[in-house]
Structure 1
Amino acid sequence: MAEANGNATGEAPQIRMQVLAQFIRDMSFENAVAQKGLQGTEINPDVTVQVSLDARKRPVDHQYEVINKFRVTSKNKANGESLFLLELEYGGIFHVEGVPEDQLHPFLLIECPRLLFPFVRRIISDVTRDGGFPALNIDTVDYLALYRQELARRAESQKAAGQPLS
């Protein structure tokens, strides 16, 4: 007797993923050094990178939109003044089939952003260089750790609010 996925041997269903499109949804770069004119000030940058993710189902079957949101700030260690701020929302549209429903959420927030990351890294490098700073080559993002942190944060906030965990 064949199983629901048409596979009688008990093998895992075949996962199919395709990147249909990639795009910059929003981007801004503010060069505080150029705006303030910090000549004569010794600059020792301290760079902070914040990452958040968003994924949603599109109206077409098996299509999902995944957005990487990066906020890169650089401040001068000497006086705490802002050097630059880069905000980037980079998205991808994915066709995903064969992923079990209970594994779809982590798949979309771990595997899909992992495929987009090299493009995000290049954009951040180019924009910082073109903005008058040394090209910033950000470290690889551990999307699995990021996903686990978000799950733990949600569990803590539900626990603090006295809500049952879902």
Structure 2
Amino acid sequence: MAENGAAETASEAPQVKMNVLNQFIRDLSFENILAQKGVQGEVTPDVNVQVNLDAKKRSPEHQYEVAIKLIVTSVNKENTSEKLFLLEIDYVGIFNIEGVPEDQLHPFLLIECPRLLFPFLRRIVSDVTRDGGFPPLNLETIDFMALYRQELLRRQAAEKPDLVS
């Protein structure tokens, strides 16, 4: 009897369907500041990566656009005012998503969709930095769930009124 009830519950739950319809570079900029300024001597790079995510509904039914925006700066560790390169990329995926409950759609768009796009973005960053005259930059895996939680906490803290009187 319990098996039959579990089967009925599973069939009632909506089946999540997700397809990547397209992915593309919306914007890309790479500046080799090291070559432009002709920095002399040994340089030890220090790389900083900033990640921004954006998601929005598109006009066709069940379609969403998810963008990962990276700003990658590299400076000389010995002289942090000496920039080596600057890479900015806006990488976008178009997804068809069905069966995700409305209250779970926001985290789904900002965790699962970027997770699918990230390997392709990582390869592009590696190729661009290599082609720009630097060793290929292999980005560490980004924990999109941790990023999402961090952003939720930041927003909650911003909404709380100051209790200092």
Correspondence for 1:47: 47
In 2 relative to 1, CA 99–133 (structure 1 residues): closer, same or farther, beyond 3 Å? same
Question: For residues 27 and 110 of structure 2, what CA distance do their matches in structure 1 show?
Answer: 19
Structure 2 Cα separation of the partners of residues 34 and 79 of structure 1:
16
Kindly state the Cα deviation for residue 10 of structure 1 after the two structures are TM-superposed: 1.9
Distance 2:8 2:99 in 1: 16
**How big is each residue's C-alpha offset from its partner over 1:12-37, in whole Å with a ceiling of 9 and x where there is no partner?**
21000000000001110011101100
Tell me the SS of whatever aligns to 1:132: coil
Residue ranges of structure 1 left out of the alignment (5+ in a row): 1-7
**Percent identity between the aligned chains?**
68
Note the C-alpha offset of 1:160.
4.0
Q: Counterparts of 1:92-107 in structure 2 under 5 Å?
A: 92-107=93-108
Residue 157 of structure 1 is matched in structure 2 by 158
Mapped to 2, the partners of 1:60 and 1:161 lie a distance apart of 42
Number of paired residues?
A: 154
Equivalence for 1:130: 131
Displacement of 1:42 in angstroms is 1.6
Moved over 4 A (4+): none
Alignment of 1:66 with 2:66, yes or no, is yes
- RMSD across aligned positions (CA): 1.3
Gaps of 5+ in 2: 1-6
Q: Structure 1 residues 47 and 160 mapped into 2: Cα distance closer, same or farther (>3 Å)?
A: farther
Following superposition, the deviation at residue 152 of structure 1 comes to 0.5
Give the structure 2 partner of residue 9 of structure 1: 8
- Secondary structure, in 3 states, of the residue corresponding to 1:134? coil
CA deviations on 1:57-78 (whole Å, 9 max, x unpaired) are 0000000000000111100000
TM-score, reference length from structure 1: 0.90
Q: 1:161 and 1:139 mapped to 2: Cα distance? A: 37
Taking the TM superposition and a 5 Å limit, the aligned residue runs for 1:100-119 are: 100-119=101-120
Partners of 2:39 and 2:72 in 1: CA distance? 20
Change (3 A) 1:98 1:135: same
